[in-house]
Amino acid sequence: MSADFDLYQISEEHQMLRETVRGLAEAKIAPFAAEVDEQARFPQEALDALISSELHAVHVPEEYGGAGADALATVIVIEEVARVCVSSSLIPAVNKLGSLPVILSGSEELKRQYLTPLAAGDAMFSYCLSEPDAGSDAAGMKTRAVRDGDDYILNGVKRWITNAGVSEYYTVMAVTDPEKRSKGISAFVVEKGDEGVSFGAPEKKLGIKGSPTREVYFDNVRIPASRMIGAEGTGFATAMKTLDHTRITIAAQALGVAQGALDYAKGYVQERKQFGKAIAEFQGIQFMLADMAMKLEAARQLTYAAAAKSQRVDADLTFFGAAAKCFASDVAMEVTTDAVQLLGGYGYTRDYPLERMMRDAKITQIYEGTNQVQRIVMARNLP
């Protein structure tokens, strides 16, 4: 009987990647994180730093000019950026979310046309699924795409679109056959510059304020039929398959923000003195830190296992993707809330980063499917 002793040990290459991204994040992204949040502005410094280090879209295959990074490497990049700034981690995360439908189902022509500039850092990619009346019930969308000769004409509204207005490219799900519900939905690549594409005002959000979230409007947008991703009617299946993989990137964000909060709180309690000694010496504080670290490590192991399943496209990926996203984001909310508590009154002020981390953590329980929906997904896909 043999055992695989490397099963729970990430490779030296992955460890070197972590060190590289952490160094970059601390030097080039962390110094702007508070300002980005305060001003609710796009973290251009982070984008520039990630592009210059070719870390903005590491998932793009090598044949299109990308790094061809595996799912775990992508998780590590997002995790380490989120450790200092969750808004900035949405750059590599949403670039994967927006472009993965093209990777999974797109023609070779589409892949070359859109993945190549993404890999080069010349464009970002967003994902348009949700609508004002179609959130968790995405199959109830109303955006229409009507065939007109060699083109399709799109009309409708998409809501909660991350990095809308900044991204050049958008994967858009639209109804091509209203009689077939989910089997009547198709996917398209829409460009920011296409006539009839416009954007709503940025949403005023609790957290991730540096990542613009806007509505996207399609007013008689004419696009060539060659921009359809996969066959007509396969868009919803592609959308769901995409989420199986990309929910793991949300888990990665959750790991990162939780680790950042734990690291900061750990340093603080060793310095803060009350009753004549560091508060880290009090058992109540020690138990809080122990629980935070234990749950975070459990979330990390689940997320990395899910990333391995994403890479192999295992049969139980749907369960593991949902489980990793759900568990890690619940842990992130708990860890960041406890970290604020450990700083007491200081934790509640913007002079310290923990209230931002706590606000940023909340969205990981909501987007790419609320955690209530994740539990439905898990229950339907029990291994």
Per-residue confidence in pLDDT tens, the chain, 383 aa:
334 445 567 899 999 999 999 999 999 999 999 999 999 999 999 999 999 999 999 999 999 999 999 999 999 999 999 999 999 999 999 999 999 999 999 999 999 999 999 999 999 999 999 999 999 999 999 999 999 999 999 999 999 999 999 999 999 999 999 999 999 999 999 999 999 999 999 999 999 999 999 999 999 999 999 999 999 999 999 999 999 999 999 999 999 999 999 999 999 999 999 999 999 999 999 999 999 999 999 999 999 999 999 999 999 999 999 999 999 999 999 999 999 999 999 999 999 999 999 999 999 999 999 999 999 999 999 98
Q: Write out the CATH class of domain 12-120.
A: mainly alpha
Give the N- to C-terminal CA distance of the chain in Å, as an integer.
Answer: 25
pLDDT at position 2 is 39
Q: DSSP string covering 26-43, please?
A: IIIIHHHHHHHHHHT---
CATH homologous superfamily of 125-235: Butyryl-CoA Dehydrogenase, subunit A, domain 2 (2.40.110.10)
User: What gap in Å lies between CA 41 and CA 31, rounded to an integer?
Assistant: 14
Residues 6 or more apart whose Cβ sits within 8 Å of residue 56 = 47, 50, 91, 92, 95, 121, 124
Angle at which helix 371-380 crosses helix 317-343, to 10 degrees, equals 150
Write out the catalytic residue numbers: 368
Q: Which residues of the chain are in CATH 1.10.540.10 domains? A: 12-120
Under CATH, which number does the domain 237-380 receive? 1.20.140.10
* Six token digits for residue 239: 């959308």
**Contact present, 176 and 3 (Cβ < 8 Å):** no
User: What gap in Å lies between CA 115 and CA 110, rounded to an integer?
Assistant: 8
The dihedral of CA 337, 342, 345, 348: what is its sign?
A: negative
Give the three-class secondary structure for 215: strand
User: What gap in Å lies between CA 87 and CA 205, rounded to an integer?
Assistant: 12
* Six token digits for residue 81: 């950026």
Q: For the stretch 157-191, what's the b/e string if a residue is b when 16 or more beta carbons lie within 10 angstroms of its beta carbon? A: bbbbbbbbbbbebbbbbbbbeeeeebebbbbbbbb
How many CB atoms are located within 10 Å of the residue 320 CB? 25
Q: Which residues of the chain are in CATH 2.40.110.10 domains? A: 125-235
**Contact present, 237 and 187 (Cβ < 8 Å):** no
Question: Would you say the pTM of this structure is higher than 0.85?
Answer: yes
* Six token digits for residue 174: 């639209």
